[in-house]
Structure 1
Amino acid sequence: MTWEPERLDDQRHLSEADPGGMLPAVASSAAHVRTGYRTAVETRVDRLADHGRPRAIVVAGMGGSGIVGDILAAIVGNGAPLPIVPLRSYQLPGWVGAADLVVAVSGSGDAEETVSVATQAVRRGCTLLGVGAPGSPLEAVATQASAIYVPVPVTGPSRANLWLLAAPVIVAAAALRLVQADADLFERVAKALEDMAHRCRPSSESFINPGKSLAMDLAESVPMIWGSSPVATVAAYRLACQLNTNAKYPAVHGELPEAAHNQVEVFDGPLAERDIFADTAGRTLRLVVLRDVEEQPQVARRRETSVRLARERDVPVTELSAEGEHPLERMATLIALGDYASTYLALGYAIDPTPVSAISELKARISQ
């Protein structure tokens, strides 16, 4: 597999190399926001408020669905009156009980880890909210427990339906008065995603297309992706995961200030070295920093100093800034840009971004 950047402006290649339609799926994010919000309202997730505010919220999910818990925790922020715990596991923590809300999210509705957690939540008497495909095992668990279930019209892999899955959970949090998120906010987010889709459209050439430009930065490097706030860190994690699954590409993610206590040492390691006399360029480190307008002052200083250290050592740096006023808007713009970049990176290597053969093989072997 060789990187050929000219592929990114070859419209025929972009179409033929993406038979699963990952680029159109990414471009559907705005529609997914609107559909997810509308479905949540029609399903009356606001009924959760009838139970009163829970002691804690556990958001269970795996893979492309698992990030929903991180999104919720980040947009609610440190001022939350209760803990919000993302969970990627088969096992519900021992402390979770009848006073808590368990949100089970699965695009397919049959992720065995998430179905297991939902079943345990019902047995313990927790309030349960399910979000996923209609007619699925997860919906069966929720229906049997008389719990609220939001059936969203997921098509393709869960990672391509992020906002279909996330919007209902955010609507539920708004009903519990944990975050201000009304129809106007979701429409602003949808419009921001439409704008990003226009800027990153396949027909837009690489030198003005932010998605293609980021893919070109990442190509033939080992990206270390840092977030400078909780909002930006979720986007950093999402980008690393999308690089893994879409482009089959390695990536490391981190959060400031913690990354400045360990990952910064990589600037002095073997992947930061450049051999200018080598016949072929080796893959070297690239620092990718996702910035947010809401940065703690000391974190901002660590970010600035870390970037300076990297550049002094000739480590290439890419800095990206979130756009928008509300944390959800800012997160959405960063995530959308990363989704496009990971897809374009795959296509630049002539890799079909949709299949996840290794994951499928792993699941098949486990089930034997």
Structure 2
Amino acid sequence: MTPDPTLLDDVARLRAGDPQDMLGAVASAGAQIRDGLAMVGDLDLGPRPRALVVAGMGGSAASGDVLVAAAGSACPIPLVVHRGPGLPAWVGPEDLVVGLSCSGTTEETLAAVAAAVERKTRLVTIGAPDSPLEIAGAGAPHLAVDAGGRQPRASLWSLATPLLLVGEAVGVTPGARADLAAAATVLDAVAAVNGPAIETSSNRAKELALHLAGGLPVLWGPPGVGATVANRFACQIAENAKQPSMPGVLSEAHHNQIVSFDGPTARADGLRLVVLADDDEPPASVARVEQSQIAAAEAGVPAVLLRGSGPDPVSRLAGLIALVDFASVYLALLGGVDPTPVAAIESLKARLAEADS
């Protein structure tokens, strides 16, 4: 089906295609940060741990990726985002485990928290109040999150805010509270210029959705901000637009995925490249970003470069994430897809629960 670009400038049709208001949920990101900052006071979590392990799944685990990108390559300890049940064998009492679940009921996260309690690791849980997650923590500090009925993927900053403050408390994201306050302002600004009432000609998120419509998105970024946003974009395209994409990290993608530019999908004008980058990149990453665009142009692959800008990594990350989150919803609406339901996930969870019973 050929997308109708006029849809994007028809607010009534956009609203009709988004009955549960995913666009509004995306626009709430700045408020999520401010609410989180108000809810989480000073944290005393003791000395810096040997390693920090973030245990979560799906949209909840995405906040762990935000922590890793915000901490950057200068982080003094290993940061691990663990997506799965239990914990790696090496995790022990010298480490800090943060169990994240927006609902407080995620099976894999509950198993990870149970393992942390059994091994007597330092533990913090973040999620719904009075939930199985809080109970599983067996008295560990619990930072309550009110997602306001939003889907986990639309509650990224409700979870990332307390997680970054945990990171600040143990010395891996110093200055996080101030950076988050700045990021909230950035998120408000992005929402103001990319909302449904802003015409496509002045709306980067709508332009990005049109760039991707009808093709296979190829999403590349250097380690840190760029790669984190590329992976986020892929997940949002899957859950909101119900479409596949191909995320990759530079320069790893130059050792494999770039060959797809020579294949039949590219020749049929099927690939759409988006390169996501940070204003503060080392020279090697700057070169990889530039060469990605050159390679795409030589292969006839339409390409867009998006750069994060702002005074700190959290603000730059937030601005790019907000842009791609809006774009993923507009891409869904262009395809006639309701962005909110995730029937395949819910069906799979139900089958797994039945098999375990």
TM over 0.5: yes
CA offsets, 1:81-113, max 9 Å, x none? 110000000120000011110001111110100
Is the partner of 2:200 in helix, strand or coil?
A: coil
CA distance, structure 2, for counterparts of residue 113 and residue 182 of structure 1: 28
Q: Aligned pair 1:61/2:56, yes or no?
A: yes
Q: Give the match for residue 153 of structure 1.
A: 146
Is the Cα–Cα contact under 8 Å of residues 170 and 181 in structure 1 kept in the other structure?
A: no
Q: Aligned pair 1:262/2:256, yes or no?
A: yes
2:81 counterpart letter in structure 1? P
Q: CA deviation at 1:223?
A: 0.7
Q: CA deviation at 1:5?
A: 1.6
Q: CA deviation at 1:135?
A: 1.9
CA distance, structure 1, for counterparts of residue 216 and residue 7 of structure 2: 21
Q: Give the match for residue 330 of structure 1.
A: 316
Q: Give the match for residue 317 of structure 1.
A: 303
Q: Cα RMSD between the aligned structures?
A: 1.2
Q: Give the match for residue 23 of structure 1.
A: 23
Q: Aligned pair 1:215/2:209, yes or no?
A: yes
Q: Give the match for residue 74 of structure 1.
A: 69
CA offsets, 1:329-368, max 9 Å, x none? 0000110000000001111112110000011111111111
Unaligned residue ranges in structure 2 (runs of 5+): none
Is the Cα–Cα contact under 8 Å of residues 226 and 289 in structure 1 kept in the other structure?
A: yes
Is the Cα–Cα contact under 8 Å of residues 287 and 316 in structure 1 kept in the other structure?
A: yes
Q: Aligned pair 1:173/2:167, yes or no?
A: yes
Which of 281, 286, 295 is the aligned partner of 1:300?
286
CA distance, structure 2, for counterparts of residue 354 and residue 53 of structure 1: 39
CA distance, structure 1, for counterparts of residue 53 and residue 165 of structure 2: 16
Q: Aligned pair 1:94/2:89, yes or no?
A: yes
1:59 counterpart letter in structure 2? V
CA distance, structure 1, for counterparts of residue 285 and residue 256 of structure 2: 15
Is the Cα–Cα contact under 8 Å of residues 229 and 295 in structure 1 kept in the other structure?
A: no
Q: TM-score, normalised by structure 1?
A: 0.93
Which of 99, 106, 129 is the aligned partner of 2:101?
106
Q: CA deviation at 1:33?
A: 0.7
Aligned runs of 1:191-270 on 2, under 5 Å?
Answer: 191-270=185-264
Q: Give the match for residue 127 of structure 2.
A: 132
CA distance, structure 1, for counterparts of residue 20 and residue 183 of structure 2: 26
Q: Aligned pair 1:122/2:117, yes or no?
A: yes
CA offsets, 1:179-200, max 9 Å, x none? 2225432221111000000000
CA distance, structure 2, for counterparts of residue 344 and residue 364 of structure 1: 29
CA distance, structure 2, for counterparts of residue 3 and residue 40 of structure 1: 44
CA distance, structure 1, for counterparts of residue 158 and residue 231 of structure 2: 19
1:3 counterpart letter in structure 2? P
Is the Cα–Cα contact under 8 Å of residues 3 and 334 in structure 2 kept in the other structure?
A: yes
1:150 counterpart letter in structure 2? L
CA offsets, 1:220-271, max 9 Å, x none? 0101100123111111100000000000011111111111111111110111
Given the superposition, is the C-alpha separation of residues 271 and 7 from structure 1 closer, same or farther in structure 2, using an over 3 Å criterion? Answer: same
Q: Aligned pair 1:354/2:340, yes or no?
A: yes
CA distance, structure 1, for counterparts of residue 74 and residue 175 of structure 2: 16
Q: Aligned pair 1:187/2:181, yes or no?
A: yes
CA distance, structure 2, for counterparts of residue 81 and residue 207 of structure 1: 44
Deviates more, 1:220-229 or 1:116-125: 220-229
CA distance, structure 1, for counterparts of residue 114 and residue 2 of structure 2: 46
Superposed structure 1 runs of 4+ greater than 4 Å apart: none
Q: Give the match for residue 44 of structure 2.
A: 47
Aligned length: 353
Unaligned residue ranges in structure 1 (runs of 5+): 275-282
Q: Give the match for residue 8 of structure 2.
A: 8
Q: Give the match for residue 343 of structure 1.
A: 329
Is the Cα–Cα contact under 8 Å of residues 100 and 127 in structure 1 kept in the other structure?
A: yes
Is the Cα–Cα contact under 8 Å of residues 23 and 326 in structure 2 kept in the other structure?
A: yes
CA distance, structure 2, for counterparts of residue 80 and residue 182 of structure 1: 13
Is the Cα–Cα contact under 8 Å of residues 229 and 291 in structure 1 kept in the other structure?
A: no
CA distance, structure 1, for counterparts of residue 48 and residue 180 of structure 2: 23
CA offsets, 1:91-146, max 9 Å, x none? 2000001111000111111010001100110110011111111121101112xx22
Is the partner of 2:237 in helix, strand or coil?
A: helix
CA distance, structure 1, for counterparts of residue 173 and residue 65 of structure 2: 14
1:86 counterpart letter in structure 2? V
Q: TM-score, normalised by structure 2?
A: 0.96
Q: CA deviation at 1:2?
A: 5.0
CA distance, structure 1, for counterparts of residue 51 and residue 223 of structure 2: 23
CA distance, structure 2, for counterparts of residue 92 and residue 182 of structure 1: 27
Is the partner of 1:289 in helix, strand or coil?
A: strand
Q: CA deviation at 1:32?
A: 0.2
Is the partner of 2:155 in helix, strand or coil?
A: helix
